[in-house]
Amino acid sequence: MFLLIIQSVLCVLCVLVMSVLVVRLFLEGQAYKLDGHPSEWIYTREKAGNLLLTCLPLFLLSVGATVVSAVMGVKSSSKPQKDAEITRDLTIRCIKEPSAEMLAERSIQKRFHIGGWCGFAACMVPIVLYCVNPAHFDSSDAEGLETVIGAMVLHTAPWTCLAIAVLSVCLLLRDKSLERETNLAKNCKKEAISSKTAASSGKTVMIVRFAVLAAAMLCIILGMFNGSMRDVLYKAINICTECIGLG
């Protein structure tokens, strides 16, 4: 686990350092161009190679951590997350009529979904207004360009973070509502199965009762036709006359 953390940190640092180097190369290129150098002298292999050499040790450390992790067989123990909406759909596919609680949860999910994306769009409005205003990008020198980029980052970064936070919270609450609806659907399925089992068991009892009654009636009818009823009557008469003494 510790090796995975180190590997992740090194990868993030590599991305950050290379991003900074790209911006630095762009600013230096603009400065060269303003000083009267030809455009083909700005971005050369030598300049890019010299900048990449500064982050080469960090890149090698990242590659080394990746190789060590692969050799040692270190893998992430985190399991892939299940999609809450797909799980809900698979659970309710056998339910013909959703309950009132399930319909209420679907209404909550719809509000969170629409509210999250509306909040995200609202946070994007100041960013778009800033970017479409030409007055914010009227600098003509390299130093002024660096100031413009810094001002743009300072203006857009807070709104971007707020937009991502609003959308993430709303989607998280929507997933919680999906989980509650899934649990309600599971309970409905259990109740339906139990009621179906009870109904089937009740039908089985009735079938057994009618079968026993039919067998008894059949035996009585067969006894009447083979003379068993007459024999029983004679035995009853004999028992009464011999025991009680009426004869």
Torsion of CA 129, 130, 131, 136, to 10 degrees: 140
On whether both 121 and 162 belong to a single domain, the answer is yes
Tell me the per-residue pLDDT of 63-114, one tens digit each, with 9 for 90 and over.
887 777 777 766 655 555 567 778 877 777 777 777 888 888 889 999 999 9
Boundaries of domain holding 194 = 79-205
pLDDT surpasses 90 at 3: no
Of 77, 103, 131, the residue that ends a domain is 77
Of 38, 59, 77, the residue that ends a domain is 77
On whether both 88 and 200 belong to a single domain, the answer is yes
On whether both 85 and 110 belong to a single domain, the answer is yes
On whether both 95 and 177 belong to a single domain, the answer is yes
On whether both 142 and 194 belong to a single domain, the answer is yes
On whether both 87 and 196 belong to a single domain, the answer is yes
Tally of CB atoms within 10 A around 178: 22
Structure tokens belonging to residue 4? 């995975």
On whether both 15 and 114 belong to a single domain, the answer is no
On whether both 19 and 123 belong to a single domain, the answer is no
For the chain, the domain total comes to 3
Tell me the per-residue pLDDT of 157-192, one tens digit each, with 9 for 90 and over.
888 889 888 988 998 899 899 888 888 888 876 666
Gap between the Cα atoms of 237 and 247, Å rounded: 10
Question: Mean pLDDT, to the nearest integer, of 32-56?
Answer: 73
Q: How sure is the predictor about 119, in pLDDT bands with cuts at 50, 70 and 90?
A: very high
pTM: 0.48
On whether both 153 and 200 belong to a single domain, the answer is yes
On whether both 216 and 180 belong to a single domain, the answer is no
On whether both 113 and 126 belong to a single domain, the answer is yes
Of the given ranges (84-98, 122-136, 213-227), which has the lowest mean pLDDT? 84-98
Mean of the per-residue pLDDT values of the chain: 77
Q: Count H helices, E strands: the chain?
A: 7, 0
Structure tokens belonging to residue 66? 């990746």
